[in-house]
Copies of this chain bind each other. A is one copy, B any other.
Amino acid sequence: MTPPPASTTPARFIDDYLLYLLARASHVVSTEFHEQLRRRGISVPVWRVLASLIGSTGETVTGLAEVCLLQQPTMTKLLDRMVRDGLVKRSQDTRDRRVVRVALTPRGETVASELAEVAKHHEAEVLARHPEAEALAIKSLLRAIMARNGKPRRGR
């Protein structure tokens, strides 16, 4: 009696569980790119903030924390460090002076767009591993999941 190796047993609950498949797919695709970040001395949270601010006129700390999947106090500390490193700046919202907005500095923009190029190159590699129809379906299906399952986002 030779049972198949435990880690490939088809009866495993998680192998057919949507939330696991989502977390796993996200993990396998991200791991490679996070390794590229590590080699450049950039942490994943710093990259997330930089990436969130590309093409943005400024985000609130709450909005950034939400987008980057970080707790707000963690985000505040991270932003303090990124301000010291000259990557981002805080400023008052032009319409509501009580609101603080975070945006890239010129140096932050340079670093962010260099990394975004690496990211886009990696993304193209990932998608090239799939047949064309599958590659085309991936993003739209992920957008559909976000649209149908997320809480409605309030303006931030």
* Residues on A facing B (Cβ under 8 Å): 3, 5-7, 9, 11-14, 16-30, 32-33, 51-52, 54-59, 63, 67, 69, 101, 116, 119-120, 123, 126-127, 129-130, 134, 137-139, 141-146, 148-151, 153, 155-156
Contact = CB atoms under 8 A, between A and B. Distances in A.
In the complex, the 4 A-B pairs of residues with the closest C-beta atoms, listed nearest first: A13-B54, A11-B55, A22-B26, A21-B142
A25 B129 contact: no
B139 A7 contact: no
**Copies of this polypeptide in the complex:** 2
Contacts of A18: 29, 123, 126-127, 138-139, 142
Given A9-B57, A138-B18, A144 B130 contact: yes
Contacts of A148: 129-130
